[in-house]
């Protein structure tokens, strides 16, 4: 009963406190508001994981027009920062900027190789995850808590080992405040149009489709977060891509480097995944050796 009332309160208090990814930094350099990013005018979520809207948004939430024709150059291995705000026309002193604090959940980034990053047809693309941040079990803090502490900014790295060329960067928050049943989890995502330069091109990542990568029954999508969680499983398994994979423990801020033999060896991964779920909350490809 207590859980139900908390959920209802969270819903009622934040029905419109959504968010939009609207700016990208490359190695700390601001690329400009909405430059190379397909962002809707309305900040509402996608809730149907089987909808094409789960790819890059823009369906039920039509894109702000005109959509940027820019393709952002990103050196392979670069550090990029995504910046989120509550609305496109962000007002000062908004207590729900970058997102309402109730909207707890993971933050995830994917890439898909494309011929032309300005092509608006995003169906049929194959995506690979390059970053995820979920729950820190020790203090029950979420990626979204860290996002708010960082004033809407999420920093991660573009892998150095992938093919150069044009990609879509799908950057996503999954808000779990109403996720006890499905549909309920709120998916916020925008896609940035990037051109990766200088990649070594030696690795072929394991990919997933959107829609298809997520399911309404996934334990990371249908979940009651109003309880102490001993683990949290971020949707879609994280596959090793480059040789070096960093496990970054938020509670201690120490990093571990783990070698993985194969970039797509799902069989060898469960042990690390288990360790990750219980100890680590963030995964990130490493651009150079630690
Ligand atoms: Cu919201």
DSSP, collapsed to helix, strand or coil, labels residue 13 as: helix
Tell me how far the alpha carbon of residue 18 lies from the centroid of ligand 1, in angstroms: 3
Over residues 183-202, mean pLDDT: 94
Tell me how far the alpha carbon of residue 36 lies from the centroid of ligand 1, in angstroms: 24
In the structure, what pLDDT confidence band is assigned to residue 136 with cuts at 50, 70 and 90? very high
- Is the per-residue pLDDT at 272 higher than 60? no
pLDDT at 255: 31
Over residues 41-46, mean pLDDT: 97
pLDDT-wise least confident of 142-146, 199-203, 211-215, 246-250: 246-250
In the structure, what pLDDT confidence band is assigned to residue 31 with cuts at 50, 70 and 90? very high
More confident residue, 106 or 289: 106
Q: In this structure, which residues have their CB less than 5 angstroms from ion ligand 1?
A: 18
In the structure, what pLDDT confidence band is assigned to residue 7 with cuts at 50, 70 and 90? very low
Tell me how far the alpha carbon of residue 203 lies from the centroid of ligand 1, in angstroms: 37
In the structure, what pLDDT confidence band is assigned to residue 245 with cuts at 50, 70 and 90? very low
Which residue in 79, 176, 84 sits closest to 134, CA to CA? Answer: 176
Q: Answer for the pair 61, 40: CB distance below 8 angstroms, yes or no.
A: yes
Burial class (CB in 10 A: 0-12, 13-18, 19+), 271: exposed
Tell me how far the alpha carbon of residue 15 lies from the centroid of ligand 1, in angstroms: 5
pLDDT at 142: 98
Tell me how far the alpha carbon of residue 286 lies from the centroid of ligand 1, in angstroms: 32
Burial class (CB in 10 A: 0-12, 13-18, 19+), 124: exposed
Tell me how far the alpha carbon of residue 106 lies from the centroid of ligand 1, in angstroms: 14
Average pLDDT along the chain = 83
Which range of 94-98, 203-207, 244-248, 273-277 scores highest in mean pLDDT? It is: 94-98
pLDDT at 24: 98
- Is the per-residue pLDDT at 80 higher than 80? yes
Tell me how far the alpha carbon of residue 50 lies from the centroid of ligand 1, in angstroms: 20
In the structure, what pLDDT confidence band is assigned to residue 279 with cuts at 50, 70 and 90? very low
Over residues 122-141, mean pLDDT: 97
Over residues 102-108, mean pLDDT: 98
Tell me how far the alpha carbon of residue 199 lies from the centroid of ligand 1, in angstroms: 37
Tokens 């190695």 belong to 27
Tell me how far the alpha carbon of residue 280 lies from the centroid of ligand 1, in angstroms: 27
Tell me how far the alpha carbon of residue 96 lies from the centroid of ligand 1, in angstroms: 10
pLDDT at 14: 46
Tell me how far the alpha carbon of residue 185 lies from the centroid of ligand 1, in angstroms: 10
Dig out the tokens for 58 from the structure: 């823009």
Tell me how far the alpha carbon of residue 45 lies from the centroid of ligand 1, in angstroms: 7
In the structure, what pLDDT confidence band is assigned to residue 241 with cuts at 50, 70 and 90? confident
Tell me how far the alpha carbon of residue 19 lies from the centroid of ligand 1, in angstroms: 7
Tell me how far the alpha carbon of residue 170 lies from the centroid of ligand 1, in angstroms: 19
Over residues 115-131, mean pLDDT: 97
Work out the number of other CB atoms within 10 angstroms of the CB of residue 150. Answer: 14
Over residues 227-235, mean pLDDT: 97
Which residue in 109, 153, 158 sits closest to 134, CA to CA? Answer: 109
Tell me how far the alpha carbon of residue 44 lies from the centroid of ligand 1, in angstroms: 6
**Side-chain half-sphere of 102: how many Cα atoms within 13 Å?**
20
């Amino acid at each position: 009963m207590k859980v139900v009332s908390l959920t209802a309160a969270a819903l009622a208090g934040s029905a419109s406190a959504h968010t939009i990814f609207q700016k990208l930094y490359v190695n700390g350099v601001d690329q400009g508001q909405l430059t190379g990013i397909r962002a809707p005018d309305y900040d509402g979520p996608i809730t149907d994981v089987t909808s094409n809207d789960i790819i890059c948004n823009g369906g039920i939430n039509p894109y702000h027009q005109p959509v940027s024709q820019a393709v952002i150059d990103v050196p392979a291995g670069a550090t990029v920062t995504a910046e989120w705000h509550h609305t496109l026309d962000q007002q000062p002193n908004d207590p729900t900027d970058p997102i309402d604090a109730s909207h707890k959940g993971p933050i995830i980034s994917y890439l898909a190789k494309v011929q032309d990053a300005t092509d608006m047809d995003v169906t049929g693309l194959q995506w690979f995850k390059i970053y995820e941040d979920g729950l820190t079990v020790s203090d029950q803090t979420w990626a979204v808590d860290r996002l708010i502490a960082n004033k809407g900014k999420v920093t991660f790295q573009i892998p150095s080992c992938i093919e150069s060329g044009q990609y879509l960067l799908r950057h996503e928050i999954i808000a779990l405040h109403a996720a006890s049943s499905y549909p309920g989890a709120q998916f916020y995502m925008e896609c940035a149009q990037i051109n990766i330069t200088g990649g070594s091109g030696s690795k072929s990542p394991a990919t997933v489709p959107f829609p298809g990568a997520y399911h309404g029954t996934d334990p990371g999508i249908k979940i009651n977060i109003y309880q102490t969680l001993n683990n949290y499983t971020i949707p879609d398994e994280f596959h090793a891509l480059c040789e070096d994979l960093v496990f970054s423990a938020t509670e201690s801020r120490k990093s571990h480097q783990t070698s993985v033999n194969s970039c797509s060896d799902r069989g060898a991964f469960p042990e690390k995944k288990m360790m990750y779920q219980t100890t680590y909350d963030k995964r990130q490809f490493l651009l150079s050796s630690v």
